[in-house]
Amino acid sequence: MKIFSEDNKLIISQGLSRVVIECWGPNSIRVRMTPVPEMDCNDWALSEKVPEVIPNIYSKTIDVTDPWYKGEEYARYHQSATEYYLENGKITVHVTYEGWIRFLNDKGEVLTEEYWRNRNRINRYCVPLRVDARELKCKQGSTDYELTARFESYDDEKIFGMGQYQDHHLDKKGQTLELAHRNSQASVPFFISSHGYGFLWNNPAIGSATFGLNVTEWKALSTKKMDYFITAGDTPAMIMEQYTLATGRSPMMPEYGLGYWQCKLRYRTQDELLNVARKHKRRGLPMDAIVIDFFHWTRQGDFKFEKRDWPDPKAMVDELKSLGIETVVSVWPTIDEKSENFSEMAEKGYLVTSDRGNSNHMTWMGNTIFYDATNPDAQKFVWEKCRENYYSYGIRCFWLDEAEPEYGPYDFDNYRYFAGPAISCSNIYPVGYAKGFYEGLKSSGEQDVMSLVRCAWAGSQKFGVLTWSGDIYSSFRSMREQLQAGLSMAMAGIPWWTSDIGGFLGGVITDENFRELLARWFAWGCFCPVFRMHGERSPWYEREEEFIDGVRQLTSGQDNEVWSFGDEMYEILKSFLFVRENLRSYIRDCMRRTSIDGTPIMRPMFYDFYDDEEAVRSEDQYMFGPSLLVAPVMEAHVNTRTLYLPKNSTWTDAKTGKVYEGGQHITVDAPINVIPVMIRDNANIKVYN
């Protein structure tokens, strides 16, 4: 093995294998390993041009002694060796003479280090387990490798981020996470550690991440290289700024993103949609966007309105614009084998293929295949169809559903993309899906771009992605899980996030228990990056099956407008529509900062109060921007809420005006029409009317 510096990089070379360590922006390092002569050229999430940094690279000569030898034999086995260091601001890479890698902060403290369990001369563990920190094992019959990378585990370390998983734990320490997308699961493999660093697993392959008590372990089932990014900083905000410098930042949120979005499963006709919008405005209620959900089309993959139920889309969009409402339209990546576009897309290689078995990927409401969002030409083809059939009518915001994509089943080893086998790159699918629409809208002259997308990966944020948490159940448990999902997405660098208020599945609008849940969720949704109502709302209408020209039409769930749940609920939901309006300028300022330095508006207490141990432990409350502490009620039949106020600040109850000193737990009243919100340090923010 040979270790040397070259072109401002450190190289660990052994046979054909090479590890390349280099600066990747301020206080940041990229580490890549290849088992073959040529490094795979994909940058994946690290797509942004970062400032060039010239590191300080130096070496030290150390004494090496085998601890197995003592006494007179010491001199015989005593020798010297060279170790290397690469300094980049607040992070230093230390490479031992045996090629092991450690990362130190600017105080000389260990941030993290590789996990080795091999007998050697200076390993303080000195155990013969033959467990390496870096393994690229050839997959027989393939040019790819199975990758495992291991790092030490620390008992006092907390892990925040990693995207969206359906559990209630904000701290990911002790968890094993699948690195794969599913409906309601978005793998975004970046986290911020309480030890003062951020880490990106820059690999879109299917795999897993384990934050164990004994080892931190990353796996990729099929790949050509190891690739990760690590950045150090004094605060979580500094770490996030450096991470988003390398992977991209969200643009400025469009103005309609700041207000209320009305949605249901589903508005079946143009008249039904317009009547809801008109009624909303007649009542004097704010609404910024209304969503046209799926199956407004003739067939999946036609990417256009069905003419009988949507006879004049341009007139509809024009009227909505006159009411101050943006039209959002659903697009699915599923292409029906009977679609007018199927043959051309198949001929040109724009569809995902299967290595074995039936090529259909989904058989719901038609036999369909997903289009290949990793293919740039396929991206352009789909955008051109949507430009012709939606954008030309004035529609500027698209709901990109099924973005995982939602395979049935999720046999990742069976699908193949333009970018390669799905098992090696499937997690970039939602990035390409959003990228096609972002670039299409920008090329059409749009300035502020936003797409509602059901999945994301590292770097998705730069394409104006608003992620929502998928088809979740209507329950308080689910609501609690969505809180950590949204906070974890924020800490993974995806700041625009929302959930289906009230849950998507199972909510019965006449059920008093569901109405209580909806009131609590609606209040919390008011303090999310985007405030959006949605849900199928059981039971579905009992209609006879409908067909248009032999094509079966989808029916719809129950009503889902703010007046649909009884007079008491209407007054509560109405009040929070105006709370959101009160917050509009505050949210706008927060979103502007997000676009400048990556700071998410919705973030865990750790982000702002990383030096307050009690705040860091708080997982059921969060900060909404720098000045509002929000503590949602996420239990049934309760009317009080206990929360923690971080120290070194004063806190004012937004409802009562009562002032509290920080550094204490308090219990406040939380009737059904109140969500506890505390204003930090007398910030001039009006919440309640």
Contacts of 31 (CB under 8 A, 6+ apart): 19, 20, 21, 101, 226, 227, 228, 229, 230
- Average the pLDDT over 576-602 and give the result: 98
pLDDT exceeds 50 at position 121: no
Tell whether the torsion through CA atoms of 213, 214, 219 and 225 is positive or negative: positive
Instruction: Work out the pLDDT band at 77, boundaries 50, 70, 90.
Output: low
pLDDT exceeds 70 at position 13: yes
Amino acid 126: pLDDT: 58
571-583 burial, b at 16+ Cβ within 10 Å, e below that, comes to ebbebbbbbbbeb
- Average the pLDDT over 313-320 and give the result: 98
pLDDT exceeds 90 at position 73: no
C-alpha distances (whole Å) from 673 to each of 162, 165, 428, 520, 561 are 33, 29, 42, 8, 18
C-alpha distances (whole Å) from 656 to each of 101, 660, 668, 676, 683 are 54, 11, 10, 10, 15
Is residue 156 flagged as an active site residue? no
d(CA 274, CA 285): 15
pLDDT exceeds 90 at position 503: yes
Question: What are residue 137's phi and psi, to 5 degrees?
Answer: -100, 125
Instruction: Classify 126 in phi/psi space as left (phi over 0), alpha (psi -120 to 50) or beta.
Output: left
Rounded to the nearest angstrom, the gap between the alpha carbon of residue 628 and the centroid of all alpha carbons in its chain is 23
Amino acid 274: pLDDT: 98
d(CA 21, CA 10): 5
Amino acid 555: pLDDT: 83
376 burial (CB, 10 Å; 0-12 / 13-18 / 19+) is middle
The tokens describing 193, both together, are 């550690």
Q: Which carries the bigger pLDDT value, residue 123 or residue 218?
A: 218
Q: Are 641 and 668 in contact (CB under 8 A)?
A: yes
C-alpha distances (whole Å) from 609 to each of 217, 461, 589, 603, 645 are 28, 25, 21, 11, 10
At 349-398, the pLDDT tens digits run: 999 999 998 888 988 889 999 999 999 999 999 999 999 999 999 999 99
Amino acid 65: pLDDT: 61
Quote the strand ranges of 479-587, DSSP E. 497-498, 531-532, 546-548, 551-553
Alpha-carbon torsion, ordered 21, 22, 25, 30, to 10 deg: -20
Tell me the residue length of the chain.
Answer: 689
At 643-684, the pLDDT tens digits run: 999 999 999 999 999 999 999 999 999 999 999 999 999 999
Amino acid 683: pLDDT: 97
pLDDT exceeds 90 at position 540: no
**Token pair 């968890």: residue:** 175
Is residue 471 flagged as an active site residue? yes
DSSP assignment string, 634-688: -STT--EEEEEEPTTSEEEETTT--EEESSEEEEEE--TT---EEEETT------
β-strand pairing of 465-468 with 451-453:
parallel
Average pLDDT of the residues of the chain: 95
Under DSSP, is residue 540 helix (H, G, I), strand (E, B) or coil?
coil
Find the largest Cα–Cα distance for the chain.
96
d(CA 269, CA 534): 17
- Average the pLDDT over 608-634 and give the result: 98
**Residue 567 identity:** D
In 292-428, where does DSSP find H-type helix? Answer: 313-322, 342-347, 376-389, 422-425
Question: What are residue 426's phi and psi, to 5 degrees?
Answer: -60, -30
Instruction: Work out the pLDDT band at 85, boundaries 50, 70, 90.
Output: very high
pLDDT exceeds 90 at position 268: yes
Instruction: Work out the pLDDT band at 67, boundaries 50, 70, 90.
Output: low
Of the residues 87, 157, 340, 471, only one is catalytic, namely 471
Amino acid 125: pLDDT: 52
At 272-305, the pLDDT tens digits run: 999 999 999 999 999 999 999 999 998 999 999 9
Amino acid 640: pLDDT: 98
Amino acid 543: pLDDT: 64
Give bridge partners of residue 101 from the DSSP assignment: 95
Helix (H) or strand (E) holding 521: helix 512-525
Amino acid 123: pLDDT: 45
pLDDT exceeds 50 at position 173: yes
Domains of the chain in sequence order: 2-247 (2.60.40.1760), 255-597 (3.20.20.80), 602-680 (2.60.40.1180)
pLDDT exceeds 70 at position 70: no
Give bridge partners of residue 369 from the DSSP assignment: 335
pLDDT exceeds 50 at position 141: yes
The tokens describing 598, both together, are 């990556």
d(CA 345, CA 336): 11
Residue 626's nearest CA partner among 597, 665, 590 is 590
Amino acid 78: pLDDT: 58
Helix (H) or strand (E) holding 457: none
d(CA 251, CA 451): 12
- Average the pLDDT over 339-347 and give the result: 97
Contacts of 345 (CB under 8 A, 6+ apart): 301, 335, 351, 371, 378, 381
Question: What are residue 242's phi and psi, to 5 degrees?
Answer: -70, -35
Contacts of 38 (CB under 8 A, 6+ apart): none
Of the residues 114, 302, 404, 481, only one is catalytic, namely 404
> What pTM was estimated for this model as a whole?
0.96
Amino acid 103: pLDDT: 98
Q: Are 661 and 650 in contact (CB under 8 A)?
A: yes
d(CA 487, CA 474): 19
Neighbouring CB atoms inside 10 A of 180's CB total 20
